Amino acid sequence: MIELRPAVLTDAEAMAEVQNAIHRAGLRSSPVDVDEIRGRYLEHEHSIACTVAVEGQRVVGFQSLKRAWVDNPYDVAVGWGIIGTHIDPDAGRGGIGRRLFVVTRAAAETVGLRHVDATIGVDNRAALAFYAAIGFTPYRERDSAGAVGYRFDVDGPPLV
């Protein structure tokens, strides 16, 4: 059974392992270390929420939500949300991302976000399909980055 809970600093190593499993599967361009996880997700000044999915004692995925800031690396409008979903390939396709998004969407509503961006590599078919399935729609291309921006309107219809 998969439990969802807020991420804590002691999850950093397990979260890094999730992203590194994604890297080893050829779905992420580079590995990460614990310090990167802490800086990007657990101690980021613009973080709104970071939720982990835990099976037994093992973190099998996580989803983060940040408020976009000036000069963010995704070129997302200031004040929008920025989402990132990371699921261990061995645990994928089981509805974990969808369950995480229920928590993330509630966090977005709580802080008054109107829009959330998911910037996705154009060759990441699984991520493109996932975000489309939960209600995100393409709204911009980032040609130089090889990515497409998908948006979710927080005040849109509820997730089914």
> pLDDT value at position 28?
83
> pLDDT value at position 52?
98
Residues 69, 131: Cα–Cα separation, whole Å: 22
Instruction: Kindly report the number of other CB atoms within 10 A of residue 122's CB atom.
Output: 13
Per-residue pLDDT of the chain (160 residues; tens, 9 = 90+): 999 999 999 999 999 999 999 999 888 889 999 999 999 999 999 999 999 999 999 999 999 999 999 999 999 999 999 999 999 999 867 899 999 999 999 999 999 999 999 999 888 888 999 999 999 999 998 766 788 999 999 987 665 5
Contact 42, 7 (CB under 8 A): yes
Topology of domain 2-153, per CATH? Answer: Aminopeptidase (3.40.630)
- Tokens, residue 126: 């699984």
The pTM for the full model equals 0.93
Residue written as tokens 């089914």?
160
Domain boundaries, given as residue ranges, for the chain: 2-153
> pLDDT value at position 107?
97
